[in-house]
Structure 1
Amino acid sequence: MSISNRKPGEAREAPNELLKRAVASCLRAIAGKPEFEVVFASDRPVLTSDKARLPEPPRKANSRDVAVLRGAADSMALRLACHDASVHRRLAPETQEARAVYDAVEQARVESIGARRMEGVAGNLDALLEDRYHRGGRYETITDRADAPLEDAVALMVRERLTGRAPPTAAAKIVELWRDHIESRAGRDLDRLLGDLEDQRKFARSVRDLLVSLEMSEDAPLEPEESEEQQENDKETDDQEADGEGEEGADGERAEVEIRDDGDEEMREGAQEEADGPTSESPDDIEDADAEESTEASRPPAGSNDLRSGDYKAFVTKYDETIEAEELCDVEELARLRAYLDKQLSHLQGVVGRLANRLQRRLMAQQNRSWDFDLEEGLLDPARLTRIVIDPFQALSFKQEKDTQFRDTVVALLIDNSGSMRGRPITVAATCADILARTLER
């Protein structure tokens, strides 16, 4: 017999509500912000200046699910507690490649501070990293350095230096492919980072030296140390600028300062449009689309291209390989990927329907419409209205459209599935392909 404090008639609490409250409270405690807003949603984790969005936990979460969720919360909390956005922005390198390494190493620094102080946090962060590299990248079997992100390798090696914890198994190949290259060029710079762990400004300067050793940044002189008054003024300025800029997400990507409801409103409108709108286009819609297309520049004739298609031929074909889609993965893996993609599209159903209607009009083949005029029945011909005004009994004032053979629209989808598309890029590509496929099936 179980005893509960729930009042009679009160709705039963979801099994994961207690876990969500505990994780949110722990995040606020580590961050030192008792009033910080924490929400849970079925979307990627995002940290903003005043809100943290964590993934929605399963109703019956196992120990691994709990550890991954707590790891995401701990990562955000440590960034709020140990990271100064103004210092980070002021000392950031200019090039995109160097900035990626700089951002990844800074995230490794704040997480290492928590891992060194709290063993439980260290375990949660280990679970988060293992899940991120196993599910998002699948780097266990890579053999080419081009498939291993350099910023991840540097960040994992910095984490190893600062905490003594080995890289997660799913990311071991990344570090293995880059370790000799990084150690030979910047091994001493990595060793010096531990002494600057608690000072973000000194740590950032050491990271800049590391980037110079890796030949990813020029050895440019940094700004001298600022006085406390100057730092306070800069901080106030950065806080004002932060009203229009986004803080970084949990995975290093930019996010908006606040999560607005515009997307939800648009999704509701899209769902209503999909429900109310007809499955096929009306003649008025087709005419509007034709009129819109007529204002665009016409396609140049095929013969105007200097390189004639008839002159092209493959140099050699013995190395070509054609693999059917069903041979790339088994049925179980395909079902799992289909379920994962459906989950990504679950909150975009309204927008998908809205875009599909527009795309359908774009993809419809253009037709040359022709008519038979001066008929005794059919549609009333507007050009013959004067006849009706003068003589209402005048025949031959109608028209009918001639039957023409409609051309088919052929759409080819080419998706890049190389190593550079691993993770979020291939998910976005798959989402776009699914939207196109659903539209073409109509």
Structure 2
Amino acid sequence: MLARRQQRVDELCAAAIRAISGQADLQFRGQRLHRGRSPLPLYAPHLQPQPASADFASFRGAADGLALRLLHSDEALHARLRPADALERLLFELLEQFRCEAACGAPWRGLQRNLRHCFETWSLAFQQAGLGDSARGLLLYTVAQMARSRVSGEPVVEQTEDLIEATRAALAPVIGVDLAGLRRARTDQCAYAVHALSLARCIAGMLRAAGPGEDDPGAQGESDAHAAFALLTESSSEVSSSFATAVCGRSLVLAGAPAYRVFSRAYDRETAAAGLVRKPLLQALRERLDARVATMGVNLAWLARSLRALLAAPVRDGWDGGHEEGQLDGRRLAQLVATPCERRLFLSERAQPVADCALTVLVDCSGSMKEHAEQLAALLDLWVRALEMAGVVSEVLG
């Protein structure tokens, strides 16, 4: 039920992002926004609501934030200005996200409300999880609250005012000039980046100078900051698919196939694979595979429709009667005589899409593929079920 709900949420949020950003090739895959087949970076921590606890408004706020980022941020300019240091890049990405969200004007009251709710939900979750208990976590959290408040013109989250009060007062003289610059230049990405870079370097320097704190024995400043902020600092060039692919080459086996001679077929046999596994183990593996497929969040019906549209061709499948145009139905001539005003006397040809093809998947079952076995099994299970729904004959060989 949770997976089905999340799939529906992803579909609605993806539609909203496409409508706002004007980019038609955006969709969620595994709760990650993709452009075509390429995953987009994780821009900010508050744009990653947790499926198990977040409400729909949080997901919609995150979707609106992603859409505004795609709409108002020049990716090429941002990539050129982005700092190389990981911690500085984390802060720079967050500040750019705040700028894009602040570009949401008065006519977009609904988006503003969604964005505010999403950020408040993340802020409260951060505080309740105790991530602000360390000095570095509190510093980053306070900077996020101050920067968003200054750029957007909205007050900080009321429930966190007491927590950040002392840190906020200490930071104001240090970063006040850059915060004011962010507010003034929020409509100019290039000018805004100057102040964002200065602020990011300043805060990163504070974190490095602090060193490992007493409340975090053995921790390093940057790693603690990353853990506390719950954000993966990825650039667009660093994002890659998690599924490894093999590079094609020349097959020596196929090259020598004509010269191969079978020595003996005495021990050859064919056995159903399901008969080689104990039933309890087979059931446990099936449940494990279903759980893996559910976490992928793939819309099976959409995939089946896409395959049917790609592989099927219209085929004549009889006639439909009772139409007002088409070929005259001779069986209804008596009805025409009895009721001269009756017009539904015609037949139209019925065509059904039929996929007259078969798809065979050959799986490499060598030892080098063992680490990909579970992921590959889930992928094949999805494809086979989608092909079956589309009416395509399929087989998996290995």
Query: TM (normalized to structure 1)?
Result: 0.41
User: Scaled by the length of structure 2, what TM-score is found?
Assistant: 0.45
| Higher RCO (C-alpha 8 Å, min separation 6) | 2
